[in-house]
């Protein structure tokens, strides 16, 4: 497992990266990523739980479909993102680029920026 820092809103967040499994786990705190929380207990919307996919363009230009899953541990909110390809640096670069490109959408519509598997299949 690798550790990295992701700066969001001028605040550093620790990321645990498992390149072998294509997964990154972030304690999101009050960052912009907390607005992606799609758990039905959080949104009070029974349809939000099915929206947990995002399309990210990797540093090699290939599109990757990522899964976003929120979990709480000792009252801290964690976001686990899986589906990355590449090493730890590629994972951080892909995630940073996706956040930068979608920041306004995440800020305005939150978890609705994510898609269902059925919606993703339209792209591929």
The DSSP secondary-structure symbol of 37 reads -
Residue closest to 97 by CA, chosen among 108, 84, 110, 109: 84
Task: Give the pLDDT band of residue 124 (cuts 50, 70, 90).
Answer: low
58 pLDDT more than 90: no
Beta bridge partners of 13: 6
- What is the pLDDT, as a whole number, of residue 25? 93
Domain that holds residue 21: 2-121
Q: What is the pTM of this model?
A: 0.82
- Partners of 73 in beta bridges: 76
DSSP of 26-45, one letter per residue?
EE-TTSGGGGG---HHHH--
pLDDT tens per residue, range 7-41: 887 888 889 999 888 899 999 988 899 998 988 88
| Number of domains observed in the structure of the chain | 1
């Amino acid at each position: 497992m690798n550790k990295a820092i992701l700066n969001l809103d001028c605040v550093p967040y620790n990321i645990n990266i498992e390149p072998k499994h294509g997964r990154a786990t972030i304690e999101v705190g009050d960052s912009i990523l907390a607005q992606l929380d799609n758990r039905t207990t959080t949104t009070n919307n029974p349809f939000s739980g099915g929206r947990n996919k995002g399309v990210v363009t990797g540093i090699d230009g290939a599109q990757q479909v990522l899964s976003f899953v929120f979990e709480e541990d000792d009252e801290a909110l964690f976001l686990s993102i899986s589906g990355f390809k590449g090493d730890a640096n590629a994972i951080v670069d892909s995630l940073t680029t996706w956040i930068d490109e979608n920041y306004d959408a995440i800020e305005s519509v939150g978890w609705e920026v994510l898609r269902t598997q059925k919606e993703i299949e339209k792209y591929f």
